[in-house]
């Protein structure tokens, strides 16, 4: 088993309020019945796989690629290692940034074909333990302001 780590260096927010909501400074008052959730899922065409994806019950979309393996993959703009880095010690494979992007795009396309879920644009967000369609989360957020 291997894991994939993602580091987010910066995020863009349209306002301080949006940033505060994302950081958890706001508490959205949510309380839904099962029937209300099902109605929202129907309204926004939420599938069982969308729910599984939100619950991390589907495989990572990079599974089966070199980017999700036991190899240490080094990605550089030109496919050449930085000075002082050694093959076998610091990395096992080196690829260009363009190759990495191509691998990710193909993996996303294959994932969408197989599961019907776009890993770059999930349809559900978790709010206070509820899996809520992203459109409804936006409405909740803007109702706070």
Q: What is the mean pLDDT of residues 16-27?
A: 52
Query: Are 63 and 115 in the same domain?
Result: yes
Domain that holds residue 27: 14-46+123-145
pLDDT on residue 28: 58
Query: Are 116 and 100 in the same domain?
Result: yes
Contact 53, 31 (CB under 8 A): no
Q: Is the pLDDT of residue 142 over 80?
A: no
The answer to whether residue 67 is domain-embedded is yes
pLDDT on residue 138: 84
- Residue 32 DSSP one-character state: -
For 72-98, the pLDDT digits (tens) are 999 999 999 999 999 999 999 999 999
The answer to whether residue 5 is domain-embedded is no
Backbone angles phi, psi at 102, to 5 degrees: -60, -45
Contact 100, 77 (CB under 8 A): no
The answer to whether residue 2 is domain-embedded is no
The answer to whether residue 1 is domain-embedded is no
The answer to whether residue 8 is domain-embedded is no
Q: Is the pLDDT of residue 16 over 70?
A: no
Query: Are 42 and 85 in the same domain?
Result: no
- Residue 74 DSSP one-character state: E
Report how far apart, in Å, the C-alpha atoms of 34 and of each of 39, 43, 73, 117 are: 9, 14, 44, 22
**Confidence band (pLDDT; 50, 70, 90) for 144?**
low
Q: How many domains does the chain have?
A: 2
Query: Are 133 and 116 in the same domain?
Result: no
Nearest to 50 by CA among 110, 125, 144, 105: 125
Who has greater pLDDT, 51 or 143? 51
Query: Are 86 and 129 in the same domain?
Result: no
pLDDT on residue 21: 52
For 29-81, the pLDDT digits (tens) are 678 899 999 999 999 999 999 999 999 999 999 999 999 999 999 999 999 99
**Confidence band (pLDDT; 50, 70, 90) for 141?**
confident
The answer to whether residue 89 is domain-embedded is yes
Element (H, E) at 133: strand 130-133
Query: Are 40 and 78 in the same domain?
Result: no
Query: Are 138 and 84 in the same domain?
Result: no
The rounded distance, in Å, linking the Cα atoms of 91 and 81 is 9
* Coil vs helix vs strand at 95: strand
For 96-128, the pLDDT digits (tens) are 999 999 999 999 999 999 999 999 999 999 988
- Residue 5 DSSP one-character state: -
Q: Give the Cβ contact number of residue 91 at 10 Å.
A: 18
């Amino acid at each position: 088993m291997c894991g994939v780590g993602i580091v987010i260096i910066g995020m863009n927010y349209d306002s301080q309020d949006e940033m505060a909501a994302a950081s958890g400074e706001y508490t959205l008052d949510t309380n839904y019945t099962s029937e209300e959730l099902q109605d929202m899922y129907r309204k926004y065409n939420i599938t069982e796989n969308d729910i599984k994806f939100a619950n991390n019950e589907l495989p990572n979309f990079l599974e089966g690629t070199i980017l999700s393996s036991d190899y240490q993959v080094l990605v550089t703009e030109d496919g050449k290692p930085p000075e002082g880095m050694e093959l076998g010690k610091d990395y096992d494979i080196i690829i260009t940034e363009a190759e990495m992007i191509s691998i990710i795009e193909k993996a996303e396309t294959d994932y969408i074909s197989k599961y019907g879920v776009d890993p770059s644009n999930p349809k559900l967000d978790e709010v206070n333990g509820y899996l809520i369609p992203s459109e409804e989360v936006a409405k909740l957020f803007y109702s706070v302001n």
